[in-house]
Structures are given as C-alpha cells and as structure tokens.
Amino acid sequence: MQASVAAAGARTGAPVFIGPYAVLGRLDDEASQVPVPERRFIGRSADGDRTVLVGLPLPGADPGRFLAEAEASRYLLGPWSAPVAELAAPGDAPWHARPYVPVVPLPAALAVHGRPLPERTVRALGAALVETLIIGHGQGLSHAGVSPAAVLLAADGPRLTCFGAVRAAAADGTARSGLPGLESGTLPPEQAAGGHPQPAGDIYALGATLAYAATGHTVPEREELPAALRSVVSACLSRDPAARPRPAELLDALSPITAHPGAGADTAGNPAERAAAALGPGWLPGRIIAALARQSAGLLAATLPPPPAARQD
C-alpha cells in the first residue's frame, strides 16, 4: 500500500476507483481458497477525509439482489454488526461501502497466526457473533451469510459482514450448493436445497465458522475440535434445525456466567455485557494485532491518484 494506488491496481487487477472512492488495496488475499461472497476493497474519498470498506458483487452475480441485501443491512443494530452506510446511486454500477476500521478477515487471521486460533479467542469470537445474531433475530432478520470470510477481526471485536449472501446467491427454491462465493461447509442443508433462510440456519453457519476458527476447517471431524468446544459446535451443526441450540443457550456455552465472577446480576444476564467481557485485553493473538497495525501503517502511507475527471487521456 506504500506505492501509488494506480500502480497497485495495475498489479492486482483491482479497480482504481469504485464510485467516489480511490481503491487503496484489496481486503482479501486472492490466493486464499476460502470463498468470499463479494469482492472487497479498502477505499478513500478524493479529499482524503473518509476511508471505507467497499464491496462489489462477484462477476455474474445479480446486481439487484446484491444491492437489496446491502440496503437491508443498513438497519442492523449492535456493536459487532457491520451495516452498509452508502450504496451506489440507481442506474450506476453496483457497490456499497461501510466505515473502515482496521480489520483482518478470519481466514487471513489464521494464516497470520500460523495455526488455528486459541480457545479463548474462539469463545470470545463466538460470544460476540451470537450477540449479533440475537439482536438481528430480534429485529426479524436472518443474517444468511455467516461464514469465515464474513467475519472480520478488529482489535475491539469482530465485525459480521456479508449480510444476505445466501439470499443474494440464488432465489429461494433454487439449489445453492456449489454456487460461487458460498462456503459449502457453512451452508445449512435446508438452505443448500433452496429453502428460505431462517434463524436456525444462522446457528448452523456460526457453528461451522467457529469450527473453522478452532481447526482451520468448516467440517472437521468431531475429534479435531478442542474438547471444551466439541459439544457446542457439534450441536450447532445438527442437520435437524430443531436440534440446534437456541442463541441464548449458545451464549451460555461459549461465555458462561462463571467466567466473569466480578460481574453483577445485571451484567450476568446481559448478552452485550457478557460478550464485551469476553473481548477484554489479550483476546486476539499478538500476530493478528501486529497485522492490524501494519494495515493501518500502510494506509497512512498510501497516496491517492487524481480523480478520473482530472486525468489526462
């Protein structure tokens, strides 16, 4: 990111501008084998005042469904949701943007760490994501996009992105197995067959995502899972939606009240307080913190190209 944006774009094939934003770099590693439901970039406004995460649909994707899910995500609540803040104007090429914070996608975090994440990190990650799902389900929204690539790790906690990826990939009633951008291991059986996404499907996808964080695979053998997480992750991955744990039960298993002996009665029963307590100092391994710092430093050193209207032909 220290070079000019135009030169970086030429090397990586990234666009130089998306809407009003100059592209500073890709968020995801193109060499990664983990599917990502959209193309993601870090961008900056021409005046240098705003840095954003910009998303584009995958080649061949339906731009209408992509933008409809992005629009719906604007209403998400909670500290670890990542609602879209800006959309392409009607008639323009589709894109969306959300405010930037230094983040590392979960697959990149495992690569940086050099191995699966520690149990403490997996539990804290799970607690925050469960809280996000509890809030969303309370709003009547199924996320339908939980996957390793959808989870971005920031210093203060995760950000859950890719809202509606399953719905955007194909209409209900259409088999979704094997579609570009969808991680098959996180796709609940009922949704793989084309069923309408439901909250229980988010629990399945979350279980697969936590399995990935703990083992490097979304569908590990039961014995590969850490013993302390084996029962809860396996329950999430039940093929029967009715047999999967409820979100509150999942929070109890991932962040038991006894883990925070200093918490008062109100805190113990409050999902937000319990998730926040799990994300205390040291929740992220040092190598991931260092990667976040390097990303920030690279963005500070990046230079912007002239806006399109100012360029010479």
pLDDT in tens, 156-199: 999 999 999 999 999 999 999 999 999 999 999 999 999 999 99
The residues, any chain, with a CB within 8 Å of residue 42's CB and separated by 6 or more, are: 23, 24, 25, 26, 27, 51, 52, 53, 54, 100, 299
Residues lower than pLDDT 70 in the chain: 1-13, 257-269, 305-313
Q: All domains of the chain, ordered by start, with CATH?
A: 5-102+293-305 (3.30.200.20), 104-288 (1.10.510.10)
Sheet containing strand 96-99, edge to edge, reads: 17-18, 21-26, 38-45, 51-57, 96-99, 86-87
Measured between alpha carbons, how far is 55 from 41 in angstroms, rounded to an integer?
6
CA 75 to the chain's CA centroid = 17
Bridge partners (DSSP) listed for residue 159: 152
pLDDT at residue number 270 = 79
- pLDDT at position 93 is 95
Query: In this predicted structure, what is the pLDDT of residue 309?
Result: 60
Q: What is the pLDDT, as a whole number, of residue 8?
A: 42
C-alpha gyration radius of the chain: 19
The pLDDT value given to residue 205: 98
Q: How far apart are CA 123 and CA 244, in angstroms?
A: 18
Give me the phi and psi of 15, to 5 degrees please: -65, 150
Q: Which two tokens stand for residue 238?
A: 């039940």
